Structure 1
């Protein structure tokens, strides 16, 4: 199992819409995430700073590096770009988080 964590940031006033859009995640996006080897993915919100913290688990043979090229991933980024801080290609700005503690 491989675990990755990262931080993103919402723009002010978009918490409810961000939540609504994820409650209605496109089935073809869910399929693409699974096909890339993601089997557990959560996003948490710090309401004070509007930082989003993503944690995902990957199968050892994952293909997550291919996701940015997938058309449904690009459409999702375009769909979400008005709600959060993004790169020039509408990919969410992400800061990888370093693991410092794990308890099982």
Structure 2
């Protein structure tokens, strides 16, 4: 199991909409996330900087990276692009964080 941390940005004024969309996450998206080996997925918001911090646990980095090629992931990215900073392919602009400490 790999612990993964990422940061992304939500646009100012869209904090509530971001949360609303995730509270209504599509069942197909949840199934895909699990199918590609992820669990224990949380996203936190720093309202002052519009920074999102995501944490998830994945089985395998290579397997997880392939989830971005799925139709449902592409559809979700298109759905979210108007409220967060994205790349040309609609994927969220994100930075992987290096784990420097962990304690069970």
TM-score by length of 1: 0.95
- Cα separation, 2, equivalents of 1:96 and 1:41: 15
Say which SS state the counterpart of residue 96 (structure 1) adopts.
strand
Corresponding residue for residue 67 of structure 2: 67
Count residues with an aligned counterpart: 104
Q: Please, which runs of 5 or more residues in structure 2 have no aligned partner?
A: none
Corresponding residue for residue 78 of structure 2: 78
In terms of mean alpha carbon deviation, does 84-93 or 62-71 score higher?
62-71
Q: Please, which runs of 5 or more residues in structure 1 have no aligned partner?
A: none
Task: List structure 1 segments (4+ residues) > 4 angstroms apart after TM superposition.
Answer: none
Q: For the Cα contact (< 8 Å) 1:87–1:93, is it kept in 2?
A: yes
Q: For the Cα contact (< 8 Å) 2:2–2:61, is it kept in 1?
A: no
Say which SS state the counterpart of residue 6 (structure 1) adopts.
strand
Say which SS state the counterpart of residue 57 (structure 2) adopts.
strand
TM-score by length of 2: 0.95
- Cα separation, 2, equivalents of 1:48 and 1:92: 19
